[in-house]
Structure formats: structure tokens, C-alpha cells
Structure 1
Amino acid sequence: MPRSDPRFRGEQVEQQVAHWLTERGLTLVASNQHAKGGEIDLILWHGQTLVFVEVRHRRDTRYGHPLETVTPAKQRRIVKAARFYLQTQRLSCPCRFDVVGVTGQAPALEFEWIQAAFDAY
């Protein structure tokens, strides 16, 4: 896959975010989990809480911060995918939805981590 491919760049950023979060005490469970109508970028344990993480990246903030791109419609798709994941894995545990906004270009990336960025509704 060519390095200029947006999907390749997205996967690279997600891997870097996963590493960054594990350095902060979380444990990676899965990445790029596809479910009916949605996808979850990263799933990690943070203590006893299962964390579903949406990763958003922009090279710069000229057109807004990447955190601003997690719309209510996107949140609904993530929640739906998370419910599907919990059901298929037969899990019943505390859950949280986090968002990590990433700006810049590798290797100079900046991370902004919003814990409990939104709720399941």
C-alpha cells in the first residue's frame, strides 16, 4: 500500500495512539473492529473499564481540530458498534467512550485524549 494512501496513514496513526495509550497504563484488546453500521478504532482495558476509542487525525487545525469531527451521528455509529462488540464477546462490564485527537505529521504528532468524551444513549 503506498504511503500516501489515507487508509495506510490512518492505520499508522491508530497504531501510534494505541502505543501512546498503553504507555499510559491501558491494555490493548483489539483494533479496527467492524460491526453493523460502524467501526471501533481501538478497544482497550483501563483498569476494570472497557474503553472504546475513536481516533481522529488532521495534519493541521486550519479547518478545525480533529476532536470536532466526532459528530452525534458518528457517536451513534460507534455506540452501535460497541453494543454489537459487547454482545458478540458476551461481555458485561463498565464501558467508556474516549476520543483521541491527533494533529501534525509523523514523527511530530500531538495527542489530545478526551476520556468519557460522550455517553451511550
Structure 2
Amino acid sequence: MKAKDVLGRAGERVAADYLEDLGIRVIDSNWRCPSGEIDLVALDGAELVIVEVKTRRSLRYGDPLEAVTAAKVARLRTLAVVWARAHSHVMGALRIDAVGIVMDGRGEPVVDHLKGVG
């Protein structure tokens, strides 16, 4: 596995723990289909939450959340419907969240969570 993939997986674990601490239940991770990938799928009450996680080692190339573009959010909305069909989940309320994580290896990861990014 490439170093960036290892960092990405570590960030997804941090994000999942963070969300669980908020009472948001993570029900799937790293779900893939021919159209793309969803990092985390969660439930916040009855609301289906699709979570895009971006992890970096520093802010040298900008904040990780800057990488969550409008096109990415649109793709996640489409993937949410595909995920729901594949899991026989009745679609109700849907929210797209973004979690940015900076893990510099010197201290605790810094987590930034944006609810309802699109």
C-alpha cells in the first residue's frame, strides 16, 4: 500500500472515531462501486450522512477541506443513491459532510468537520 493510502486510511479511522464520539453512527466505510467510492456512510438520527474524508500531513499545500469541490459533492450525492439502493436503505434525509484531518505525526490529529457541505 502506498504511503498516501496508509495516511488516508488512518485519517478515515480518526474521522470515524470522531463522528462516533459525536453520536453519529458509522455504518459503512470505503464502499466502492464502478462510479466511485464513499469514504464513510453514517446515520445521524434518521439522516443518512455521506462523509468525504481528506487527510494531509501538513497545511503546506492548503487545508484538506479545500479539496472537497462542488463536483466531488455532486458525485457523492449520486453515490449516496447508489449506496442506498445496494443496501436496501430507504432514502429519507441526506447530508454530505466533509472531514479534514491534519496528522503531522507530532501530536494528536487536528479534525475539522463541516456538516452539510452541499
TM-score, normalised by the number of residues in structure 2:
0.89
Shift in alpha-carbon separation, 1:41–1:33, aligned structure 2, 3 A: same
What residue number does 1:94 align with? 93
1:54 alignment counterpart: 52
CA deviation after TM superposition for structure 1 residue 83, in Å = 1.3
Moved over 6 A (4+): none
Distance 1:29 1:104 in 2: 24
Q: Aligned residues, how many? A: 116
5+ residue gaps, structure 2, are none
Q: Is the 8 A contact 2:7 2:56 kept in 1?
A: no
The normalised TM-score by structure 1 is 0.87
Q: Residue in 2 aligned with 1:111?
A: 111
Percent identical pairs in the alignment equals 32
1:34-71 Cα shifts (integer Å, max 9, x gaps): 12321110011111111000000111112211111012
Equivalent residues of 2:30, 2:39 under 8 A apart: yes
Q: Work out the CA distance in 1 between the residues paired with 2:7 and 2:85.
A: 30
The partner residue of 1:71 within 65, 69, 72 is 69
Rounded Cα–Cα distance in structure 2 between residues aligned with 1:95 and 1:52:
8
Following superposition, the deviation at residue 20 of structure 1 comes to 1.0
Q: Which stretches in structure 1 are left out of the alignment for 5+ residues?
A: none
Q: Which has the higher strand share?
A: 1
